[in-house]
Amino acid sequence: MKATKVNYYNQSVEDVLKAQGSSPEGLTDAQVQESLTKHGANQLETKKNTSLLQKFIAQFKDLMIIVLIAAAIVSVFVGEGVDAIIILLVVVLNAIFGVFQETKAEEAIAALKELSAPQAHVKRNGKVETIKSEDVVPGDIVLLEAGDIIPADLRLIESAGLKMEEAALTGESVPVEKQIAALKDSKLPIGDQTNMAFMNSNVTYGRGSGVVVGTGMHTEVGQIADMINNAEETTTPLQHNLTQLSKVLTGLILVIAAIVFVVGMIRGNESLINMLLTAISLAVAAIPEGLPAIVTITLALGTQRMAKRHAIIRKLPAVETLGGTQIIASDKTGTLTQNKMTVEKVFVNNQLKDTADVDPKDYPYNHLFELMVLNNDTKQTKEGLIGDPTETALIQFNLDKHQNVEKLISSEKRVTEVPFDSERKLMSTYNQLEDGRFLQTVKGAPDELLQRTTLFEEGEEIKSMDDAERKLVLDTNHKLATQAIRVLGFAYQIVDEIPATLASEVVEQELIFAGLIGMIDPERPEVAQAVEEAKQAGIRPLMITGDHRDTAAAIAKRLGIIEEGDDQAVISGTELDEMDDKTFAKKVNQYSVYARVAPEHKVRIVNAWQKQGKVVAMTGDGVNDAPSLKQADIGVAMGITGTEVSKGASDMILADDNFSTIVVAVEEGRKVFANIQKAIQYLLSANLGEVLTLFVMTMMGWQILAPVHILWINLVTDTFPAIALGLEPAEKNVMKQKPRGRASNFLSGGVASNVIYQGLLEGLITLTVYGLAILYPVHASYAQAHADALTMAFATLGLIQLFHAFNSKSIHGSIFSATTLKNKFFNWSIVVSFILLAATIVVPGLNDIFHVSHLNLHQWAIVGGASLSIIVIVEIVKWFQRRFAAR
């Protein structure tokens, strides 16, 4: 039974320490040992992995693989050992590839464990010790400072300007300010639990300490690991389609083969062994033994093309799944946005401007840009700027504007400071000026700052701060806040000496207001266009984030995910908690933005859309995204900013972290599906033609094509042209069509009807040629006439499939287009296949092996004309199909 979760953030420091049997001096050695025995090591559990042998054996449970093995056995039985070896080689290679992919997927939890902090500073027996993070136990007092990684879940008991970056867990890019007071609300999301610290978060500023309240699987990260362990493996549309197709084909094969065998035995014209061979020939003709290989090759070629465009596929079926995507549920931070605070607006000299329109050199009398640099704890290193993201953004702004930051810092060195605290929301510094006086810099929340200002700068003048000026500043602050822009105010004063008492109520008074700075984690510049392209393709983009509602809504509007005034499309995690699954399922179509969500919310959102029958893609980069990435039909991780956990749980990785690459991948996925459809239409119609030919020949008591004929036709005409169809370029307007969705399959969109009429057509044309050869023989000899008829039927059945391959280049489009001969591999595949087919008839010696006779030019003309007729007939049918569709 699952233990009830305790909300330690609702409890006082004293109560938490008492509950954990600890004190500010830490645990004793005896207490540590007792806690370690009770709770175990501070490690994440993983599912028991299956062995490589078990994984390998499991690959052969697929029905199509079983059919393939049966085809190989049949091939051996009829003496075609080479064909059997090729089939078995494909089966084994597929199994090896499947094992490799499955093994890589299991690395998600292992990567999660690697995120754990290697060491922790704890207080035990009244002394500070450095221990391995796996040795941390509940009740330990952990000491924290900037740069530390949190080793376990903590209830903070001390905080001095403490800030933590929790983006990997909450999705919120701005560091969270921490405090120690108990919180009243009993249903707070992780991002609002400001007196807690969570395993694998980073300390970005300040110092403090906390008592351990959860280790290992009892941490927030542990809950994510548990969700990954228990996530159900979803079946991709491709796997589902192939499974269904395999079942249908297997049933038809068995029924037809049985009918032929029974009818043949009743007629009594053939022996038991001959009828058995006939039934086997039918089975060989019906089984598209090259289909799994062709699908795999087509997908593999698709992955290579996508890799060149920065989309790395981890699991082959993901290529096709992308093409059917209807929902893209995207994490905001680092995926839709840059995960980097950036100065976007500047309010200086009573004017609000974009940063692009601001040059500090144009404001020689204004202190704003100087204050941004001096009231800042950012460190410049060879690796870049280190510090609080808000402060690094201020320095980066000045660097981008070619300000000499280092010279300013060294010439006006900081003497002392009044640190930031969350109560007054201000920070002050005192810097030495060349004339011996001191510049006091103050930054913080604009509303708090204005209460302490009496003057303001405007150009060269210092003016009195009146009500009109205060209203202008506050209105500007409100305007920016509604756009999800974080605003900082700056003020200063120059004093002759530093006050003896550095209390806020003493020193932060009668200040001169300098201006405002507006910052935001900006959207990626290419994302808005990608969102628009996704919408045109019938795909609905969703934003799922740990950020506040207003921030999420503002970014979503800027990206075009929702429209202005469409605030009903935004829902918070708290509101989601108040809905049961049934209610949420009814309302899920209303929401496009999910704010302030927890990891379990993301899985729930994905599940709700999947229950609607939608194919869902989930993008993300943090630890918190791993369960939903695994649950989604296709999980898309970020390659640059993504954690190893998210990459391990994903199906696809974006090497450039570019949201627009997803749209490229969707286009490639649609092309792959279309090409597989073309190959399936080609293979099944060809096989149906073979089955019909054999079936009618048997029913009519004619001499029938032997297994060697069928196997050779399958080997020559199925392999190369079908693979070449997988290389076809994308057809026009592929991204203007609606997504196929989960209900679609390879036989939808007119493919099933095409297979039937085209297969029947191939069979009827072949039988017609055979009948004409019998009725109007070239040779008087009965045996020779039947041998010629059988040879002409063999040649027609093979050649008609090669001509039909041109029909299959488009399901409904005409072959008389500029792109028909664009695929050079396809052209060569037809030439090679024709040579291999014709060689069995025209090359002396081979015709004896294949039991065929030489044909004269007249007979070849009949074969060629009959085979070519399929292009004419199919083109006419396609013309009517397009006319009907247009109406």
Amino acid present at 649: A
Match 């207490």 to its residue by tokens.
Answer: 31
Query: Nearest to residue 139, comparing CAs of 38, 54, 44?
Result: 38
Same domain membership, residue 288 and residue 154: no
Strand partners, 287: none
Amino acid present at 1: M
Same domain membership, residue 848 and residue 765: yes
Segments in 446-580 forming alpha helices (H): 446-450, 467-481, 504-507, 527-536, 549-559, 573-577
Same domain membership, residue 86 and residue 134: no
Q: What is the pLDDT of residue 798?
A: 92
Residue 786 lies in a domain: yes
Q: At residue 51, does pLDDT exceed 80?
A: no
Q: What is the pLDDT of residue 805?
A: 92
What is the domain count for the chain? 5
| CATH number assigned to the domain comprising residue 14 | 2.70.150.10
Is residue 852 within 8 A of residue 794, CB to CB? The reply is yes
Residue 1 lies in a domain: no
Amino acid present at 662: I
Residue 623 lies in a domain: yes
Is residue 270 very low, low, confident or very high in pLDDT (cuts 50, 70, 90)?
low
Residue 872 lies in a domain: yes
Domain boundary among 468, 489, 520: 520
The set of residues, in sequence order, having a beta carbon less than 8 Å from that of 567 and lying 6+ positions away, is 553
Match 């290389």 to its residue by tokens.
Answer: 727
What's the CA angle centered on 837, arms 835 and 838, to 5 degrees?
Answer: 65
Distance CA 107, CA 46 (A): 10
Distance CA 754, CA 764 (A): 15
Is residue 240 very low, low, confident or very high in pLDDT (cuts 50, 70, 90)?
low
Domain boundary among 520, 545, 568: 520
Q: What's the first-to-final CA gap in the chain, in angstroms?
A: 62
Q: What is the pLDDT of residue 828?
A: 92
Same domain membership, residue 831 and residue 697: yes
Distance CA 798, CA 184 (A): 79
Is residue 626 within 8 A of residue 645, CB to CB? The reply is yes
Is residue 620 within 8 A of residue 594, CB to CB? The reply is no
Residue 312 lies in a domain: no
CA distances from 619 to 279, 303, 630, 646, 661 (A): 50, 18, 11, 9, 12
| CATH number assigned to the domain comprising residue 416 | 3.40.1110.10
| CATH number assigned to the domain comprising residue 788 | 1.20.1110.10
Same domain membership, residue 431 and residue 408: yes
Q: What number of other Cβ atoms are within 10 A of residue 724's Cβ?
A: 25
Same domain membership, residue 651 and residue 506: no
Same domain membership, residue 866 and residue 836: yes
Cα R_g (the chain), whole angstroms: 36
Same domain membership, residue 686 and residue 652: no
pTM of the predicted model as reported, rounded to 2 decimal places: 0.66
Same domain membership, residue 529 and residue 508: no
Is residue 637 within 8 A of residue 623, CB to CB? The reply is no
pLDDT in tens, 281-295: 666 666 676 676 677
User: Which H or E run includes 515?
Assistant: strand 511-520
Same domain membership, residue 533 and residue 446: no
Domain boundary among 626, 657, 688: 657
Is residue 430 within 8 A of residue 416, CB to CB? The reply is yes
What does the DSSP 8-state code read for residue 732?
T
Same domain membership, residue 447 and residue 357: yes
Q: How far is CA 249 from the centre of its chain?
A: 33
| CATH number assigned to the domain comprising residue 620 | 3.40.50.1000
Q: What number of other Cβ atoms are within 10 A of residue 776's Cβ?
A: 9
Buried b (16+ CB within 10 A) or exposed e, 221-235: bbbbbbbbbebeebe
The residues assigned a catalytic role are: 331
Distance CA 872, CA 815 (A): 10
Residue 242 lies in a domain: yes
Query: Nearest to residue 851, comparing CAs of 709, 710, 714?
Result: 709
Work out the percent of the chain whose per-residue pLDDT is above 70.
Answer: 84
Residue 611 lies in a domain: yes
pLDDT in tens, 190-210: 888 999 999 888 787 788 999
Query: Nearest to residue 511, comparing CAs of 443, 575, 562?
Result: 443
Residue 90 lies in a domain: yes
Average pLDDT, the chain: 83
Q: At residue 222, does pLDDT exceed 80?
A: yes
The whole domain housing 530 covers: 321-338+524-657
Q: What is the pLDDT of residue 112?
A: 38
pLDDT in tens, 831-881: 999 998 899 888 888 877 777 888 889 999 999 999 999 999 999 999 998
Distance CA 512, CA 499 (A): 18
Is residue 635 within 8 A of residue 238, CB to CB? The reply is no
Q: What is the pLDDT of residue 707?
A: 65
Distance CA 33, CA 54 (A): 39
Is residue 264 within 8 A of residue 278, CB to CB? The reply is yes
Q: At residue 2, does pLDDT exceed 50?
A: no
The set of residues, in sequence order, having a beta carbon less than 8 Å from that of 838 and lying 6+ positions away, is 795
Same domain membership, residue 828 and residue 693: yes
